[in-house]
């Protein structure tokens, strides 16, 4: 049987089509749905947007009370209301299409939040041992260049993995102008240590690694498959996005509720519970991007202030 390409039903000409549509959405699809803006297209046709409103109850340990997190996403999908001779014809997407639109909007918001957070907290993530280990191949090359001045390309490749992976490492470093390749040699590029001159060597390397993460996190995590970068960012993002949607910059969230939010934002995490909890505790213990202990997580005030400012300017809508 072919899948329906649209939802379609009719109403008596005397009916209130917006009220009937809202009743249909709330009883057949989800109680979270509301009729939004109505646009008159001509004397017989209207476009009606559908909004979704989500209400969560979360516990704020900072205030020792439960708070409501209410947020609305507007214009998820739309329906057409057309008046014929005696009846209203209501036509719009299927439930499956609506669910796809809602998931796409959620992924978009989560990604926007990640992008903002990585630019605000990249230097704090690089301090983590698991992230340093992931970036050690890049760090070793930077150290080598600072002490030797140049490195034969063939010699550097002997210590790595596949040639493609090495080319990917060089791509990000050349893009940032940290290195260049000349006559078979890897040499310092125009930006090698330029913006961080005067720092002690270890601090200089850390700053350069942080710049690489800031500029091209998605390349590092997806193309280079440095998955050690992914877990900590997902946990930090789960906290800050939850705090923003609850309008609580200093939210102290129980870890059990953070784990629930993490599962909502990243439903296909691909790691087991123990591994995820280990990533979370390392984030809390080794990074200043968040604060916390074995029971709760809260913000770094400087990160929270800038994150909320970026989110407000971006007019983010809730991921529902």
Per-residue pLDDT tens for 5-30? 789 999 999 999 999 999 999 999 99
At residue 57, φ and ψ (nearest 5 deg) are: -110, 115
Per-residue confidence (pLDDT) for residue 36, from 0 to 100 = 95
Rounded mean pLDDT, 303-311: 91
Query: Which residues are CB-neighbours of 17 under 8 A, at least 6 positions away?
Result: 11, 46, 48, 81, 88, 90
Q: Inform me whether the pLDDT recorded for 82 exceeds 90.
A: yes
Q: What is the pLDDT of residues 26-67, one digit of tens each?
A: 999 999 999 999 999 999 999 999 999 888 889 999 888 898
Rounded mean pLDDT, 284-299: 93
- Please state whether beta strands 33-40 and 185-188 pair in parallel, antiparallel, or not at all (unpaired): unpaired
Structure tokens at 278: 């280990």
pTM higher than 0.85: no
Per-residue confidence (pLDDT) for residue 320, from 0 to 100 = 40
Of the listed ranges 153-157, 166-170, 195-199, 253-257, the one predicted with least confidence:
195-199
Q: What average pLDDT does the structure give for the chain?
A: 84
């Amino acid at each position: 049987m072919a899948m329906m390409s649209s939802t379609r039903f009719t109403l008596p000409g005397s009916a209130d089509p917006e009220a009937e549509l809202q009743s249909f959405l709330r009883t057949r699809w989800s109680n979270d749905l509301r009729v939004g803006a109505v646009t008159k297209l001509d004397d017989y046709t209207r476009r009606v947007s559908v909004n979704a409103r989500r209400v969560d109850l979360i516990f704020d340990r900072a205030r020792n009370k439960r708070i409501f997190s209410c947020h609305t996403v507007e214009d998820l999908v739309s329906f057409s209301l057309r008046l014929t001779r005696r009846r209203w014809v209501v036509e719009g997407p299927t439930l499956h299409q609506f669910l796809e639109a809602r998931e796409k909007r959620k992924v978009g918001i989560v990604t926007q939040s990640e992008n903002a957070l990585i630019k605000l907290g990249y230097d704090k993530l690089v301090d983590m041992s698991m992230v340093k280990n992931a970036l050690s191949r890049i760090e070793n090359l930077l150290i080598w260049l600072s002490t030797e001045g140049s490195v034969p390309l063939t010699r550097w490749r002997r210590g790595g993995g596949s040639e493609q992976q090495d080319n990917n490492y060089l791509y990000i470093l050349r893009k940032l102008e940290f290195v260049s390749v000349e006559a078979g040699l890897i040499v310092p590029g125009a930006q090698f240590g330029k913006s961080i001159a005067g720092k002690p060597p270890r601090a200089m390397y850390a700053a350069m690694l942080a710049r690489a993460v800031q500029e091209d996190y998605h390349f590092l995590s997806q193309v280079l498959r440095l998955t050690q970068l992914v877990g900590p960012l997902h946990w930090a993002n789960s906290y800050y996005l939850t705090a923003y949607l609850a309008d609580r910059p200093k939210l102290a969230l129980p870890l059990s509720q953070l784990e629930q939010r993490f599962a909502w934002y990243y439903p296909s995490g691909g790691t087991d519970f123990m591994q995820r909890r280990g990533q979370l505790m390392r984030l809390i213990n080794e990074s200043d991007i968040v604060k916390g202990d074995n029971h709760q997580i809260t913000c770094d005030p400087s990160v929270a202030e800038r994150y909320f400012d970026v989110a407000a300017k971006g007019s983010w809508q809730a991921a529902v």
